[in-house]
Amino acid sequence: MEHPQLQQVTDLADPALDDYLRMTDVRLRSRVEVERGLFMAESYEVISRAIEAGMAPRSFLMNEKWLAKFAPLYEQFPDVPVYAGEESLVEQLTGFNLHRGALASMQRPELPTARELLRTARTVAVIEDIVDHTNVCGPKLAHPEPAAEPRRRSRIAVLEGLVDHTNVGSAFRNAAALGLDAVLVSPTCADPLYRRSVRVSMGTVFQVPWTRIPEWPAGIHELQEAGYVVAGMTLGEGAITLDELVAEDHEKLALVFGTEGHGITPQTDALLDRRVTIPMMGGVDSLNVTAAAAVAFYATR
């Protein structure tokens, strides 16, 4: 059945298409997307993950040949416009070839405060070295002992001043894959909901709880008050190794990653509980920030 809001793209000056105009201008898109309260999801998988996470689409745009493939997504929203047009016309509108099939203009969600995010961060109970499934429920004792409190852990990441949208998206994908509870981003960090960030994250930016810390690095105190040991990844002197941090076995750990060029700022460094380094070999002085994040996330799991 044809979608009730299916509309043919014929006039690129149509104000209804403004969400999709000049998408190659990074500065304009970053500003306009935030001001309009929208972000772009691209490809079937990413749009699907956005919808599953409860994001509300404003409209869909696609080449005509992709209408059937994306029907399971847009048919869930009979009141949302679906714009379809010839490939060359859609490319002229957006400024690039829509080879992933479709875009969806999505309503930007309201972010929680850092305090709210930390309060609701998921904790994980660790059951260690139990191989008998029946023992997970506890042994049957004549006089059962009071159950011990389960071990609870929480790990979060803080991205300070990352300016590359690809790195931000990759960091979120690492965080989702390696089980982090949340990601916090500084005021100067690139937008996690920018189209490239969302695409690189494979939509995992929708499943990892995140928010922006408006006051940074003062926000470190809020993390510490919530019980987190704040560890910054650095090449500076006096840092302990990542193995040493893991051996300390912190129940609540916040890992801070600095900007691609200069790393963590001196102001942030002064407030850290730990300074941590990943020892290098082979004459290499450091890892890309997202590679370092993946190593740190895995080591502290």
Same domain for 252 and 170? yes
Instruction: List the chain pLDDT tens, one digit each, 301 residues.
Output: 478 899 999 998 898 998 888 666 565 556 666 767 889 999 999 999 999 999 999 999 999 999 999 999 999 999 999 999 999 898 888 888 887 889 999 999 889 999 999 988 753 323 333 333 333 333 333 344 444 444 468 999 999 999 999 999 999 999 999 999 999 999 999 999 998 999 999 999 999 999 999 999 999 999 999 999 999 999 878 899 999 999 999 999 999 999 988 899 999 999 999 999 999 999 888 899 999 999 999 999 9
Query: Can you state the angle between helices 289-299 and 165-177, rounded to 10 degrees?
Result: 10
Same domain for 165 and 254? yes
Domain with 53 in it: what CATH number?
3.30.1330.30
pLDDT at 22: 67
Judge whether 123 lies within some domain.
no
Residue type, 223: L
Judge whether 292 lies within some domain.
yes
pLDDT at 192: 95
Domain with 293 in it: what CATH number?
3.40.1280.10
Judge whether 124 lies within some domain.
no
pLDDT at 130: 32
Same domain for 294 and 186? yes
Same domain for 295 and 157? yes
User: What's the pTM value of the predicted model, to 2 decimals?
Assistant: 0.83
Number of domains in the chain: 2
pLDDT digits (tens, 9 = 90+) for 135-171: 333 333 334 444 444 446 899 999 999 999 999 999 9
Q: How far is CA 144 from the centre of its chain?
A: 44
pLDDT at 142: 38
Range of the domain at 58: 6-107
Same domain for 197 and 279? yes
Same domain for 16 and 88? yes
Q: What are phi and psi of 110, to 5 degrees?
A: -80, 125
Considering just the CA atoms, what is the radius of gyration of the chain in Å?
23
pLDDT at 121: 77
Render the burial of 77-99: b for 16+ CB within 10 Å, e for the rest: beebbbbbbeeebbeebbeeebe
Judge whether 54 lies within some domain.
yes
Same domain for 156 and 294? yes
* Domain end marker among 74, 107, 140: 107
Cα separation, 16 vs 11, in Å, equals 10
CB neighbours of 61 closer than 8 A, spacing ≥ 6? 9, 17, 20, 83, 84, 90, 93, 94, 98, 102, 103, 104, 105
Residue 5 contacts residue 60 (beta carbons within 8 Å) = no
For residue 241, the surrounding DSSP H or E stretch is strand 240-241
Residue 77 contacts residue 136 (beta carbons within 8 Å) = no
Same domain for 81 and 164? no
